[in-house]
Amino acid sequence: MVSEREYRLRVGRVVIGLVCPDANFADSLGIYFARPSDPAAATIRLDLDLVPHSDIPAIPNSLILAKTLTADGFDIAGGLIRGRFDRRSGTGELHVKTILTSGRLTRVFEQILYQAWHSARERAGYDACLIHSAGVIHADRGFLFVGASEAGKTTVARLSRDRIVLNDEMNLVEFEPGGPRLVGTPFNGHFRDKGAGAAPLAAVLLLEHGPEHRLDVVGPGAAASAIGGQVAPPVGLDGIGGGGTTQAMLEAGSRLVEAAPVRRLRFLPDAGFWPLLTETFINDTRG
């Protein structure tokens, strides 16, 4: 029987089990992610401890860059998050200062769950990656819109309300023998009216604001670099970033370039780009 204190978060084909301090906090996670606790067995299980504090800690932009390994686990930003993970058993613990568990800073807490997802992905042998992006299902096909901050991911999501918007912040790409699949995640961006779903990936669009709706061909090297730069660093709970991390991100970008059409989408802040995408990637199956 699953404890009422355990919240199980499904992200693609893996499930992160978070054993919370009490049932109320477990319920609050279900509300935050807008998903009930998943009934499947947890791929990894983490004991979550909320640490009271009187200080106002500095919040880093990247938990990975602020992470160091210790004798018994890891430390992020001088105790903002401490923890350990045993990849053999798939179990561990997280000690998180309470400032990260309410309000907008919960988005920072999500970053440690990206690391937990990578540990679960490795444990399950799951061939997939997380990408900072907007994901939309249109005509039963998945469209991945990639770009840095302010490139227009949330704008695209808002202009796509009559379709299935998976997420405007973080999506998942599964590498399948028959081609890549786009899968939504429960992580929260600015666009909260998101829906769950998955679809074969029709195209990757590199976003750029422009004076008209237009698709441009992108060279494979430039495309892989642009996509790789938005891949969530493949660092698990028991690891830290390094030179190999950047290389792994670029390799993920290269795999997508090889597996799906990539175009630069210059667009205006209206939904007029959808007829262009439909004609190019749905009606014209050559992509």
Tokens representing 242 are 């390094």
The pLDDT of residue 193 is 83
The pLDDT of residue 90 is 98
Q: Are 6 and 81 in contact (CB under 8 A)?
A: no
Phi, psi of 125 (to 5 degrees): 65, 40
The pLDDT of residue 73 is 97
Instruction: State the residue for tokens 């009934």.
Output: 39
Tell me the three-class secondary structure of the chain, residue by residue. CCCCCEEEEEECCEEEEEECCCHHHHHHHHHHHCCCCCCCCCCEEEEEEEECCCCCCCCCCCCCCCEEEECCEEEECCCCEEEEEECCCCEEEEEEEHHHHCHHHHHHHHHHHHHHHHHHHHHHCCCEEEEEEEEEEECCEEEEEECCCCCCHHHHHHCCCCCEEEECCEEEEECCCCCCEEEECCCCCCCCCCCCCEEEEEEEEEEEECCCCEEEECCHHHHHHHHHCCECCCCCCCCCCCHHHHHHHHHHHHHHHHHCCEEEEEECCCCCHHHHHHHHHHHCCCC
The domain ranges of the chain are 6-124, 128-283
pLDDT tens across the length of the chain (287 residues): 578 999 999 999 999 999 999 999 999 999 999 999 999 999 999 999 999 999 989 999 999 999 999 999 999 999 999 999 999 999 999 999 999 998 889 999 999 999 999 999 999 999 999 999 999 999 999 999 999 888 999 999 999 999 999 999 999 999 999 999 999 999 987 777 888 899 999 999 999 999 999 999 999 999 999 999 999 999 999 999 987 999 999 999 999 999 999 999 999 999 999 999 999 999 865 44
Q: Considering the domain 128-283 in this protein, what is its CATH number?
A: 3.40.50
Could you give the count of Cα atoms lying within 13 Å of 265 in the half-sphere of its Cβ? 29
Could you give the count of Cα atoms lying within 13 Å of 66 in the half-sphere of its Cβ? 17
